[in-house]
Amino acid sequence: MNIHKEGRKILLALTSFLLIANLAVYHYVGDPIASQSTIVISAILFLLVLQFFRNPQVISVQNENHILAPADGKVVVIEEVVEEEYFKSKKTQVSIFMSPINVHVNRNPVSGIVSYLRYHPGKYLVAWHPKSSTQNERTTVVVKMKNDLEVMFRQIAGAVARRIKFYVNEGDTVEQGHEFGFIKFGSRVDVLLPGNFEIKVKIGDSTTGGKTILAEIID
């Protein structure tokens, strides 16, 4: 299992803490049942955190007419919104909610050049709250494709996830399906679709980052 770089220090610190806790229970409590219980609880906790930071290899099939899911999770929103930050016009938004058991690597839905990037501090409403897209801590990324269409996607922090990481800058060339960021401990990603398109998912569908086709651009 590949472990994401964002989790290595956390797992090391957790291992040290659990080791000290188990030694303390063994030496100072001296109860075999308590020691065994502590070992079991420690193993479960470690495995839960370990699976959260897993980073499986994903091979994306790149297609300039496809907009891929940027994250593993479940489609929770498909609706028309008025995007006020950059486009200042109506767009169709597809939102993917990532639970703590999902892989939390975020991947570029399209290839192109990063034409806009902003980090916004904000609130920590639950990720499925309608206002989380505009009021929560978030990053906004816009990628301009070869056909001059622009796709916006947002990493949005939730009530638990308060660690948004992004690895791109304005002017960078990005490739569809490649990693652009990571959100620790669950949240959501919004994608705002460009031009004419056909939605390929429905609310409740599960997605795989870099693989699931959210929409197909129609010429």
146-157 confidence digits (pLDDT tens): 999 999 999 988
Domain match, 46 and 126 both: no
Could you tell me if 102 and 10 lie in one domain? no
Number of domains in the chain: 2
Q: Both 45 and 128 in a single domain?
A: no
Average pLDDT, the chain: 87
- In the three-class reduction of DSSP (H, G, I as helix; E, B as strand; rest coil), residue 59 is classed as coil
* pLDDT value at 4 more than 70: yes
Q: Are residues 112 and 42 located together in one domain of the fold?
A: no
Quote the pTM value: 0.82
Q: Are residues 100 and 16 in the same domain?
A: no
DSSP 136: B
CA atoms within 13 A on the CB side of 196: 2
Claim to verify: residue 109 and residue 140 sit in the same structural domain:
yes
Q: Which residues contact 156 (CB under 8 A, 6 or more apart)?
A: 127, 132, 133, 136, 137, 138, 187, 188, 189, 190
Give the domain range for residue 184.
66-217
pLDDT per position as a tens digit, 72-119 = 999 999 999 999 999 999 999 999 998 878 888 999 999 999 999 999
Q: Based on the fold, state whether residues 79 and 46 are members of the same structural domain.
A: no
CATH code at position 95: 2.70.70.10
Amino acid at 129: H
Phi/psi at 133 (5° precision): -65, -25
Answer yes or no: do 125 and 21 share one domain.
no
- Cα of first residue to Cα of last residue in the chain, in angstroms, is 41
Q: What positions carry a catalytic annotation?
A: 187
pLDDT band of 126, cuts 50, 70, 90: low
Concatenated DSSP letters for 137-193? SEEEEEEE-TTS-EEEEEEE--SS---EEE---TT-EE-TTSEEEEETTSEEEEEEE
Q: Distance between CA atoms of 97 and 157, rounded to whole angstroms?
A: 11
Q: Each residue of 175-209: pLDDT tens digit?
A: 999 999 988 766 889 999 987 899 999 999 999 99
Q: Is 11 inside a domain boundary?
A: yes
pLDDT in tens, 27-69: 888 788 888 899 999 999 888 888 778 888 888 899 999 999 9
pLDDT value, residue 133: 61
Whether 131 has a pLDDT exceeding 70, the answer reads: no
- Whether 61 is in a domain gets the answer no
Residues 175, 83: one domain?
yes
31 lies in the same domain as 95 = no
Same domain membership, residue 43 and residue 128: no
Model confidence band, residue 215 (pLDDT cutoffs 50, 70, 90): very high
Looking at the domain assignment, is residue 203 inside a domain? yes
Give the integer Cα–Cα distance in Å for 168 and 136: 20
With a CB cutoff of 8 Å and minimum separation 6, the contacts of 82 are 89, 90, 91
Q: Could you tell me if residue 57 is inside a domain?
A: no
> 101 and 22 in one domain?
no
